Chain A
Amino acid sequence: MKLRPITQREPGIYGPGSVALPAYVTGILLVGLPLIVVIVFSFLQRGEFGSGVIHKFTLDAYRTVFFETDLMGNQSLNFSFLKIIFRSIMLAFTVTVICLIVGIPTAIWIALQKKSTQRILIALVTIPFWVNVLARTYAWMLLLADGGLFNQIGAPVLLYTSWATFIGLTYAFLPFMVLPIYASAEKLDKSILEAAFDLGASGWRVLIRIVIPMIRFGIFAGIAIVFIPALGAYVQPSLLGGNKSMLIGSLINDQFGESRNWPVGSALAVLLLLMTALILLATRRRKLEFAS
């Protein structure tokens, strides 16, 4: 934040644009092109025997997503897809809120430790990444099962309830919340906090009026990188939650798999993308407002 804007650097043959070239190439090749294919597929006709596509324009996929003909032939707005999308958003929202509540104090506390302790704590936060998420989810299954560790110490059997889903997701995404908040909290100018205390501010007041505003970029980043993958969460709800209600992630998976309807799968992916983009835009707007 204290850096001068990049355009004020000494001019040279390698301008900022050319340095970013590999990033552009990677972005266009690995993100841009596949996205275009997904968008195009969502407007095509379904292939023979179900899978694949036929190169003919149609809005059928979106019609299937938004309208439904029930088994008795009545046409209506398709609430099942809307319900699934709403459920996914609520799940992601709840997980993000829990991660915020747990993540902010954790990150600030780490940032206030000695440098050497900080390094150890950050290493501890990242250790779970060394093990595959599926293996860690199975470990949670054992912990939460009937007769598992939690049950033995008196907790009810949580496996196959939404509580288990929330525990698994919070556990999986918490590091993504802690790390960016820590990164901005670590740069906090401690003398400002001292000044606030000297002027008589209470601990809460310092937290709400000074610390939180100063680490807001870390918080926004944390919200974005927790909320967005949580929208597509798939492993924890199916393994821990009992797989009893569909989420957008499993729905898209099913369209490309068992249901063999690639255009509808693509249409759902496009809608998910639009929602994600809206959320990103919203947080970005907030950032600009704060910055000005």
Chain B
Amino acid sequence: MKLGISKLTMGYRKRLALASIATAVSLLVGLAIPQANAASLYPSKPVGTELNLYNWSNYIDPELLKRFTAETGIKVNLGVYESNAQMLAKLEAGARGYDIIVPTDYMVQIMQKKGLLQRIHRSSYPNGSNLKPEFVNPYFDRGRIYTVPYLHGLTGFGYLKDKVTTNPTTWKEFFAAIPSYPGKTTIFDDKKEVIDAALRSMGYKPCTRSLTQLQAAQDLIKSIKPNLNTIASSGNIGRLSSGTSVLLMMYNGATYKAKLANPNVVFVYPKDGLPLWQDNFAIPVGAKNVENAKIFLNFMMDPKNIAQASNWAAYNNGIAGSEKYLLPAMQADTAFSPTSAQMALGVAMAPCSTAVNDLYTKVWTAFKG
């Protein structure tokens, strides 16, 4: 633990030094070559043969990466992380050399405000116009200046219909059902997801500033805590399909995978609202192989390629025309493709302000104890 912190902080100092050098260099280059902008358009040929992809663990089909290498001659080095915060901390601490990162919606906004992302000039890409219309203007990147969409999903809950017979359809019913299954329920180890769900279950809005509402959310999650077996964001596919947990907070795609192993699995899009999250490809400032990164982005906006990613991960994508390459059985399942009514329940979530985030931390610390 101590070592981890030292690494971060050492890097921070270095980052300051590097950043000032980088600023000076870019100013000089900018003066010398007025048409430097041209270099950021889609490349005609790759530069070098490397691409460093920094992605969530277990989040891209290894076969797809192999095919990318076969088609372009660019080798992909994959680094993985477990959370947006981990990725941000690493980049902020001065990590260099990642060419592509995969931030979630709200993290795109934070990273863009911090000046950590490069403009990608999507319109100059051959596949740049393949985005589904509803993915062109997300709140976190209007017009898609910094990112292209990867996969998206929704956070609801899953249960085993042979064990949980009350047929819960809302967060309210989810929290109410938990005490009936002591030691057999799980929620995410994620402050925002859990507190948001608790607020929704009582009819309140996420990111509320109301202290009484937050207090009520805190009381609710504290009251169900003794019935949880574990608080975990990973390993839930196995927990649900094996029956270790019979009722648990889940992503839709993960629930679809659990369903393949156990037909009793049901995914619920809670009627009191649920978060719609989107992961995106972006090129961080300091990337070494920018041209190769752009070739990768273009590759991933090809309907056939992104469909392969969807088929492997069981999450849908934002590229028009990919539907015809998706596995039919998967596409027919509402856990993978929500009905339009279910999709309408999903809300893209902007991050809470720092002040509200601090209140969330208080609630979470009180809950975890």
Give A contacts to B, CB under 8 Å: 30-31, 33-35, 37-38, 41, 48-53, 68, 70-73, 80, 83-84, 145-146, 159-160, 232, 234, 238, 242-246, 249, 251-254, 256-261, 265-266, 269, 272-273
Residue of B nearest to A147 (CB): B242
User: Which of B9, B183, B230, B354 is close to A41, meaning CB atoms less than 8 Å apart?
Assistant: B9
Q: Which residues of B contact A145 (CB under 8 A)?
A: 244
Grouping DSSP codes into helix (H, G, I), strand (E, B) and loop, the B interface class, with mixed when no group exceeds half, is helix
Q: Which residues of A contact B343 (CB under 8 A)?
A: none
Q: Are A256 and B230 in contact (CB under 8 A)?
A: no
Q: Are A232 and B2 in contact (CB under 8 A)?
A: yes
Residue of B nearest to A141 (CB): B235
- State A256–B93 Cα separation when bound (angstroms): 11
- State A242–B244 Cα separation when bound (angstroms): 12
8 A Cβ contacts from B56-91 to A = 83, 85-86, 88-89
Q: Are B9 and A71 in contact (CB under 8 A)?
A: no
What are 26 residue pairs bridging A and B, where the CB atoms are less than 8 Å apart in the complex?
A: A34-B7, A50-B354, A51-B92, A71-B218, A71-B363, A80-B366, A80-B369, A83-B369, A160-B230, A242-B229, A243-B189, A243-B230, A243-B232, A246-B365, A254-B361, A256-B5, A257-B85, A258-B83, A258-B85, A259-B357, A259-B358, A259-B361, A265-B5, A269-B1, A269-B2, A272-B2
Other than A38-B6, A83-B369, A258-B191, give 7 A-B pairs with Cβ distance below 8 A. Answer: A71-B214, A72-B215, A249-B1, A253-B4, A257-B85, A260-B85, A260-B357
- State A243–B304 Cα separation when bound (angstroms): 41
Q: Are A49 and B113 in contact (CB under 8 A)?
A: yes
- State A83–B225 Cα separation when bound (angstroms): 18
Q: Are A269 and B5 in contact (CB under 8 A)?
A: yes
Q: Are A244 and B365 in contact (CB under 8 A)?
A: no
- State A261–B192 Cα separation when bound (angstroms): 16
Residue of B nearest to A259 (CB): B361
Q: Are A38 and B9 in contact (CB under 8 A)?
A: yes
Q: Are A244 and B225 in contact (CB under 8 A)?
A: yes
- State A246–B88 Cα separation when bound (angstroms): 23
Known: A35-B6, A49-B113, A257-B85. A243 touches B231 (CB 8 A): yes
Most chain A CB neighbours (cut-off 10 Å) among B1, B215, B362: B1
